[in-house]
Amino acid sequence: MPKVKDPFMESVEAQFGKAVDLLAPEEEGEEDQPWELIEDAGEAFFAINHARLVIGKLGEGAIYGYSDKFNPGTIAADRAGGDGFDFAVIRGRYVVDTWSVQYASMADRVIFDMKNNKDAALIEETYGDISKWEYFDTNKNEFVSQSEAPAEFRLSKPAPKAHDSESPSP
């Protein structure tokens, strides 16, 4: 059986993949800044700013993150070197993480599908237990538990597709 391609995943990968430069152009007098800026999103050092950029450009999605203290042992926590990690979730199923590819060189692609068997395993290994992810409430400008998130942004571990395709249809 041939692999099923997901047009949304291909589009996101083309738009945000590692060949795309997300950094804002330097302005006069900025040559000595110790940080790089993502256009319209802030400092590239912070994963949350990558998630903001993705959501802004796609016009949909939400920011999720976790504290390393409550979600230990993930690849992202081990490599990020901070106290937590943030990323975008689109349509309640796609994890989009440009920070891991473009800033930290932790991954070789920017989008993963929670409904794909192989991707679900990678998501759990990289981002940990989905029940420990917190929703970024833009009204409060802080992370809250998923139980406090609007109903449409409460995540549950989706049942993977019966077939193990590379990219299942949406």
For each of the chain's 170 residues, which pLDDT tens digit applies?
A: 345 579 999 999 998 885 455 655 555 555 545 456 666 667 777 889 889 989 999 999 999 999 888 887 777 666 655 678 899 999 999 999 998 888 777 888 999 999 999 999 999 988 989 999 999 999 999 999 999 999 999 998 776 665 444 544 44
Residue 161 is encoded by which pair of tokens?
């597709």
Q: Is 28 exposed, middle or buried (0-12, 13-18, 19+ CB in 10 A)?
A: exposed
- pTM recorded for the entire structure: 0.81
Whole-number Cα distances in Å, 37 to 53, 112, 140, 154? 11, 25, 24, 30
Whether residue 124 is contained in a domain is answered as yes
Residue 170 lies in a domain: no
Tally of structural domains, the chain:
1
CB 155 within 8 A of CB 149: no
Q: How far apart are CA 79 and CA 21, in angstroms?
A: 22
The number of residues making up the chain comes to: 170
* 76 part of a folded domain: yes
Residue type at 94 in one-letter notation: Y
Closest residue by Cα to residue 90 from 118, 116, 59? 59
By residue range, what is the domain housing residue 144? 7-23+34-153
Residue 63, in any domain of the structure: yes
Please report whether residue 74 resides in a domain.
Answer: yes
Does a structural domain hold residue 88?
Answer: yes
Q: How far apart are CA 82 and CA 22, in angstroms?
A: 22
Does 55 reside within a domain? Answer: yes
Alpha-carbon distances of 91 from 37, 58, 84, 144, rounded to whole Å: 27, 11, 23, 19
- Residue 169 in any domain: the answer is no
